[in-house]
Amino acid sequence: MLGGFVVVVALIGFYAASLHFNPWVKCSKCHGKPRPRAWVFGYAHHVCPKCDGTGHQVRFGRRLLRMGPGKPSS
């Protein structure tokens, strides 16, 4: 029983460390390409509204634990 508890605590610790060192993922809407091309005029583009043109968004666990956004690595 105690061994299982230690394993769970270790996994949570590794996940928290992962959130700390790798806070960003590719944007789920633009998939890391923050300037999607227009449908009709290919030279026109707009900025992704979900990630504000960064191509990255904060990981779910980081938002859930309210760890803050950190700094993007663009």
pTM, rounded to two decimals: 0.65
> 19-73 pLDDT, tens per residue?
888 888 888 888 887 776 767 777 777 788 888 888 888 888 888 887 776 666 5
Amino acid present at 38: A
**Any idea where the domains of the chain sit in the sequence?**
2-64
> 20-33 pLDDT, tens per residue?
888 888 888 888 87
**Please, what is the end-to-end C-alpha distance for the chain in angstroms?**
44
Q: Which residues contact 38 (CB under 8 A, 6 or more apart)?
A: 44, 45, 46
Angstrom CA distances, 73 to 6, 23, 43, 45, 68, stand at 33, 10, 27, 23, 15
Instruction: Name the 3-class secondary structure at 42.
Output: coil
